[in-house]
Amino acid sequence: MKRTVTLVLSLFLLGALVLAIRPATSGADAPLVAQWTQIQPATTPDTNNYQGAMASDPLNHGVMIADGYAGSLSIWIYSNSTWTQVAAPSGLEPRNEEYMAWDPTINRVVLFGGLGSSKLNDTWTWDGSTWTQLTTTASPSPRYGGGMAYDAATGDLVLVGGRDDSGLVSDTWLFTGTNWVNTNAPLPQSGCPIYGAMASLGAQGGVILVDCSGNTFTFVNGVWNSLGLVGGDNYASDMMMSYDPGIDAVVRYGGYVGHGLNTTRWWNGQSWVNMTPNTITATNNPPGLYNTGMAWDALTNSLVLYGGIAGGAYHGTWEMVGPITVTTTTTTTTTTTTTSAPSSTTTSQPAVATTTSSLPTTGSNFGAGLWISMSALGLGALSLLLRRRLLRSS
């Protein structure tokens, strides 16, 4: 009889242990809703940034666009809901489809190459007030149309792809702040290393790229990882993408699939998750767009989207700001995550900023692991105690 009781208790505790180690619902699957707001600045740039470039510009507490599609280089800075034009230096040839990104290591915006009167491979930096051309001992070939983003793990900008005089290229280069270094780690064969989008993966390090066929790649620790079509507007090209430190996630918008898309998605480490409002109106979501730009604005703690093509030239300015609704699936409680904008005097770097948002990161579920360990330890101790008491009473 007592053996039977011992067996029953053991089976009960085993069942409890199974329940205890059931994986907790990952917050990475929690639905998020993009909060887009259209801004009405007093002055609108004279370019719709068609095939131009856009980058964070914390030195001016805003973002920058540079577009030479119309034959003259038009450079504008957006800060505090205002667009201000910046004169281009005489040596900076008008161009489009150039590479441009914020480099926190050297505290500069870096511009490379593009398509001007011919394909270009010059390197320029912006210190908040002045453009300076750099002389480097090595450089990618003259090209346009690829991607460039900051890798926080190495402190370098990563440049990949585009089109040079030989055709499409897949080589990968690092900009160290003073020179270019060929990694000899080309993008895996995708067939389309051009007209996609690229962004930093934030403080965890690495970059993420979506090519013009909609395939997703990550570059981590010097190695490209091919993830294929992993959700979200597959086969789209010419989308906008940026890392958002306010929610510690990469966000993408729009793209081209025969027409402009109006979807917003975020990267959860495995796939692109939809965060488009269920009901789209003219005031809560940008129109279907492609060939435009999106970058992080540290002043307002928001993503800024400007211009592009929406059936025709589009000159609208939008900000994606918090709060972002996060509905948990483990309980019936709905929580709201809010993010606070940094001080207007901050020079925090968008690629390495620290976030206090409750949005899940793409790392392991430490909480679930801790619960499993503590549950197993507690149940094991309880089983041993009951067994000893039963043996003593026999």
pLDDT at site 49: 78
pLDDT at site 324: 59
pTM score over 0.85: no
Nearest 5°: phi and psi at 383? -60, -45
DSSP secondary structure, 252-284, as one string: EE--BSSSBB--EEEE-SSSEEE---SS--TTT
Pick from 219, 236, 137: nearest CA to 171: 219
Q: Which residues of the chain have pLDDT under 50?
A: 1-28, 323, 326-394
Give the whole-angstrom CA distance, residue 289 versus residue 313.
Answer: 10
One-letter amino acid of 18: V
pLDDT at site 364: 27
One-letter amino acid of 93: E
Task: Please report where in the chains the tokens 């320029």 appear, as a residue.
Answer: 124
- Contact between 42 and 82 (Cβ < 8 Å): yes
Helical H segments across the chain, by residue range: 2-20, 366-393
pLDDT at site 30: 56
pLDDT at site 51: 78
